[in-house]
Chains A and B, each alone.
Chain A
Amino acid sequence: MTTPSDPFVFPREYYFPPFFTRQTNLTTHHAQLTKWSSLILSYCRHHRLFKISLSDFAEKDLFFNKQLNRRLSLSDIREVIDFMRKNDNRAEYADSDQKNGGAGKDGAGGGGGDIVWIYWRTPEEWASLVESWVEGTAQKGTVLTVYELTEGEGTRGTEFWGIDQELLLKALQILVKRGKAQIFGQEDSLGVKFF
């Protein structure tokens, strides 16, 4: 899903060795966490990555600056992920039924997964995108397949073309709760009708 067309431009901090070391001073640490979370978000947005595997990515250029030979350790990565989760729900662990409403006592225990959703666009934002597209193309009241939304020819120009199907389902569930859509059909041929 990575488009090698225009390479990602890393921010200035990326070339600053202390950026990869966990800061002790609280204020600096908070600033560090904030900068890391925005770096992760823009990286994933650029490469259109919806889910990442932490262990995988620990070796990749996002967390490992080969030039400086500095890397962000796995536990530090998790810290950033947890910060993103608690801050504004921009990350979510994808394994099992982790409810990320953990009251803070699940520091390392609750977030033990490896696969993380990175919401450079939250499911709500995806939901409103899909909704406005459906309204714009006057497809309210018609039946669409989930496959068609992610991989169909009709949606090729939209933002959500090629989106991870699970993420799309999350977004559609939000619309279902609002009463704006209904999902039906079998497991691998799900359809959705918008109202």
Chain B
Amino acid sequence: MGNNPSRITAQDQAILDLKTQRDKLHQYQRRITLLTDKETAAAKQMLAKGDKPRALLALRRKKYQESLLQKTDAQLEQLEKLTSSVEFALIQKDVVFGLQQGTKVLKEIHAEMGGIENVEKLMGETADAIAYQQEVSEMLGGRISNQDEEEVEDELAALEAEVLGLNKNTTQPLPSVPDTQLPQVEEAEGDSNRVKARPQQERQAMLA
């Protein structure tokens, strides 16, 4: 059994001792409970035989044992409280340890970053470099607008025509909708009125 070294700590042993004590108390309780049951049974028997004093004695013994039980209950509670405190303390210890480790790592990362002054210097340098780049692009941008603006505008017009031309080829030129009145017959006014009315009616009918 020498392969894996014992993973049992001293605290584990302490907890085991506490729990063993608790187990012993538990066993004791069970024993006493058995005794009280026996005494009750004995008392009943005595009463059946008519032996009152012996029955009374059995009941007195039972009472005493019950008081013992209560005392052990109280002690059990104490033990359980202590056991849980120990277990909780172990957990707290782990938490503190975790915090320690985390803080240490954080500090190491900060050290790697080179310190606050370093970061400030770096930010300043970055801002300078960006400003420099802006100047350069403005200079370059300015030169283009003076010299090649015409050429660029011509290119834009050509592209526009191309795009419109494409549009013209895909869609058929549709005849424009007539917006003049239909030629009226000028013979009779009445007729003309009727004629006027008819197309109006027709138009209305169409609309309807």
Contact = CB atoms under 8 A, between A and B. Distances in A.
Contact of A185 (B7, B20, B27): B20
Contact of B87 (A142, A148, A191): A142
Contact of A145 (B4, B7, B23, B87): B23
B147 interface: no
Given A179-B4, A193-B7, A184 B13 contact: yes
Interface string B1-13: 0001011100011
Interface in A109-158: 142-145, 147-148, 151-153
B4 A185 contact: no
Interface string A167-195: 00000000000010010110001010101
A142 to B, nearest CB: 7
Interface of A: 142-145, 147-148, 151-153, 179, 182, 184-185, 189, 191, 193, 195
A147 B23 contact: yes
Contacts, number: 44
B6 A191 contact: no
Nearest to B20: A189
Interface in B64-117: 87
Interface residues of B, number: 14
Given A145-B23, A147-B23, A152-B26, A184 B16 contact: yes
A142 B7 CA distance: 12
A184 B23 contact: no
A50 B106 CA distance: 57
* 6 nearest A-B residue pairs (beta carbon): A191-B16, A189-B20, A147-B23, A143-B15, A145-B19, A143-B12
B30 to A, nearest CB: 8
Nearest to A192: B16
A145 to B, nearest CB: 5
Contacts of A189: 16, 20, 23
B70 to A, nearest CB: 18
A57 B25 CA distance: 35
Interface in B95-145: none
A185 B18 CA distance: 12
A153 B22 CA distance: 12
Given A143-B12, A143-B15, A182 B20 contact: no
Given A152-B26, A193-B12, A143 B19 contact: yes
A142 B15 CA distance: 9
Contact of B16 (A179, A185, A195): A185
